[in-house]
Structure 1
Amino acid sequence: MPSRRTFLRQCGLALAASPVLSSLPSWLSSADGFESLRGGVGTFTQRGGTIGWLATPNGLAVVDTQSPDSAPDCWTGLQNRSQGPLSLVINTHHHGDHVGGNGVFAQHTDRLVAHANVPDLMRASAEDGAADDMTYPTDTFEETWSETVGNETLRLRHRGPAHTGGDAIVVFENANIVHVGDLVFNRAYPFIDVAGGADSKNWISSLETIHDALDDDTIVIHGHGNPEFGVTGGREDLLVMRDFLKALNEYVTQQRQAGASLEEMKQTEVLEGFEAFNFDWALSLADCIEAVYREQTTG
């Protein structure tokens, strides 16, 4: 099973590699990685988890920061979209491909917001000697948080452990856009960070709750995505992620009851109905099986 470090390195390389980016649909990708959605909200894709941004005449807000290498490109592009100050940065969770560029944006704002568990999770997952060099959230919340930037209200919600122990859902209320971070790997095998507090069963129920709170006009920004399906979509994508996690849990439970070993379980190459997940990507079904097996046998 890959460590957080291995996943973040592989994931960053996968998203930076030209074969992946060049295969993105033309409506999703652009030469500079920026895509506008509506209401001043858009995405930036380059290296790491999807960045969401809000650009208004009165200020900017950024959701996730990718890496120290890509964050400067994002900041430069945002300057072309608003001359307003950077009001705040939000981290959807603690993984390096979502917080690695914090230091770049912290040069332009003194407010970084995340769930209360994120600072400790960042410290725990830092490579040896690197914890002191990381840029941590300055503002944290337990369950909900909100603030207005320009004419947009951003609301954050934590629904318990899922992908990690500190996931935040970010709602752009007026635009009706939701950034769900890594709660959705859109038609891609997810990273289930057991060491970082993941809970795949609560992840399932969280996706159902979020889905029911949205409507058919909501645009959902995903943390990662299969190039064929992209990093934006609708609320139906949450149910695809839910269904995969349910099928994964059911598979591991059934195999354990049948007496199969973990190594035998990991020989399965695809779960029926989720063939689209099986593409050239940093994670495999075997990684997911092992994570859920660890949950079920050590929880």
Structure 2
Amino acid sequence: MNRKEFLLQTSALGIGTMLPIHRLAHFFQTPFTTIRRNVGTFTSRGGTIGWLASADALVAVDAQYPQSAQVFIEGVQEKTSHVMDMLINTHHHGDHTAGNLAFKDVAQKIVAHKNVPGLQKASAARRGQTSLDNQVYANETYTTSWKETVGDEVVNLSHLGPAHTGGDTVVYFEKANVAHMGDLMFNRAYPFIDRDGGANIHNWITVLRETISSLESDTVYIFGHGNQEYGITGSKEDVQLKSDFLEALLEYTQKGIAEGKSKEELSTLAVLPGFESFNAPGWSLPLSRNIAAAYDELMEME
């Protein structure tokens, strides 16, 4: 597949609540990258896959699409012969869960927040029966927190309320000190705010700030997507910057509402001052989509 075909296929698969992103940072990354202590990332098509692979543990975080998921499964099995203990879905979007199909007979269980299967089913149903028939759902769910020891690692899952969607999970590999944020983090790029899927910008800010305050100062964070110039891993400063952007987004929109401006008038802003780096090259989600989501959320609160 050449680059043009890749971009077109990615765009086509972005219909519905899948992310309408034409160029992903993942295309420019090395597929398998180790971060620390047997934890790393895999990048291909869709949201970043995180992994734990050791002699006595194998865990995947997010599944991308069936084809790239199969590439991941074959590649990670070169790192360990251990059975795949689990697949974790950080949320319901298709570029993170469509690949569940490839994991169905490989992972001993699929774990997600309790809202994910329902959101995943509703999203697939909007795309048609074929998409609905191809869904594989988590068979173990949790409400606010979940923990399991896998080999010599401890995997923690937490849900702090609606943010990017109504079913987001932060996955923390305790001993490696690595946290997978899923799509709570679009690193220096305008995020997808899935209001149909239960997004809440106000609480998204809280989730990001509570996460970095609860983890270590040197925690490495894995991001669901990222500006190709900044990548898909980073530090608490990157997470703080995202929360600052969301706060500034709400402040800009609230000020405009108070001045009597319409959603359309507010959405003409091309770049939010102070966050120029979020205007990522090749990124198809414009700031106007974020402003529109903020406007709708704020108007609902009045």
Instruction: Answer whether TM exceeds 0.5 for this pair.
Output: yes
Q: Does 2:181 match 1:180?
A: yes
Distance change (3 Å), C-alpha of 1:137 and 1:156: same
Q: Does 2:244 match 1:234?
A: no
Secondary structure (helix, strand or coil) at the match of 2:122 reads: helix
Alignment of 1:238-253 (within 5 A): 238-253=239-254
Match of 1:287 among 279, 286, 289: 289
Secondary structure (helix, strand or coil) at the match of 1:121 reads: helix
Q: Does the 8 Å CA contact 1:147/1:154 hold for their aligned counterparts? A: yes
How far 1:6 sits from its partner (Å)?
4.7
How big is each residue's C-alpha offset from its partner over 1:39-81, in whole Å with a ceiling of 9 and x where there is no partner? 1000001101110000010131000000112111111110111
Aligned equivalents of 1:10, 1:249: Cα separation in 2: 23
Q: Does the 8 Å CA contact 2:49/2:63 hold for their aligned counterparts? A: yes
Aligned equivalents of 2:177, 2:15: Cα separation in 1: 34
How far 1:237 sits from its partner (Å)?
1.0
TM-score relative to the length of structure 2: 0.91
Secondary structure (helix, strand or coil) at the match of 2:196 reads: helix
- For residue 213 of structure 2, what is the aligned residue in structure 1? 212
Secondary structure (helix, strand or coil) at the match of 2:66 reads: coil
Q: Does the 8 Å CA contact 1:92/1:167 hold for their aligned counterparts? A: yes
How big is each residue's C-alpha offset from its partner over 1:234-273, in whole Å with a ceiling of 9 and x where there is no partner? 1111110000000000011011111111111111000111
Q: Does the 8 Å CA contact 1:7/1:282 hold for their aligned counterparts? A: no
- For residue 57 of structure 1, what is the aligned residue in structure 2? 55
How far 1:296 sits from its partner (Å)?
1.4
Aligned equivalents of 2:219, 2:137: Cα separation in 1: 30
Aligned equivalents of 2:257, 2:15: Cα separation in 1: 29
Aligned equivalents of 1:261, 1:232: Cα separation in 2: 37
Q: Does the 8 Å CA contact 1:59/1:83 hold for their aligned counterparts? A: no
Secondary structure (helix, strand or coil) at the match of 1:69 reads: helix
Q: Does the 8 Å CA contact 1:7/1:283 hold for their aligned counterparts? A: no
Match of 2:18 among 8, 27, 31: 8
Q: How many residues align?
A: 284
Aligned equivalents of 1:136, 1:282: Cα separation in 2: 29
Q: Does the 8 Å CA contact 2:155/2:171 hold for their aligned counterparts? A: yes
One-letter code aligned to 2:43: T
- For residue 99 of structure 1, what is the aligned residue in structure 2? 97
Structure 2 gap ranges (5+): 1-13
Structure 1 gap ranges (5+): none
One-letter code aligned to 1:97: D
Secondary structure (helix, strand or coil) at the match of 1:49 reads: coil
One-letter code aligned to 1:40: N
How far 1:9 sits from its partner (Å)?
5.4
Alignment of 1:260-299 (within 5 A): 260-279=261-280, 280-299=282-301
How far 1:170 sits from its partner (Å)?
0.3
Q: Does the 8 Å CA contact 1:49/1:98 hold for their aligned counterparts? A: yes
One-letter code aligned to 1:108: V
How big is each residue's C-alpha offset from its partner over 1:216-245, in whole Å with a ceiling of 9 and x where there is no partner? 221000111111111000111111000000
Secondary structure (helix, strand or coil) at the match of 1:245 reads: helix
- For residue 167 of structure 1, what is the aligned residue in structure 2? 168
How big is each residue's C-alpha offset from its partner over 1:4-44, in whole Å with a ceiling of 9 and x where there is no partner? 83562533x422xxxx556x4xxxx32xx010011100000
Runs of 4+, deviation exceeding 4 Å: none
Secondary structure (helix, strand or coil) at the match of 1:10 reads: coil
Q: Does the 8 Å CA contact 2:55/2:80 hold for their aligned counterparts? A: yes
Aligned equivalents of 2:15, 2:112: Cα separation in 1: 21
Q: Does the 8 Å CA contact 1:187/1:276 hold for their aligned counterparts? A: yes
Alignment of 1:95-174 (within 5 A): 95-126=93-124, 127-129=127-129, 130-174=131-175
Secondary structure (helix, strand or coil) at the match of 2:240 reads: helix
One-letter code aligned to 2:70: P
Q: CA RMSD in A?
A: 1.4
TM-score relative to the length of structure 1: 0.92
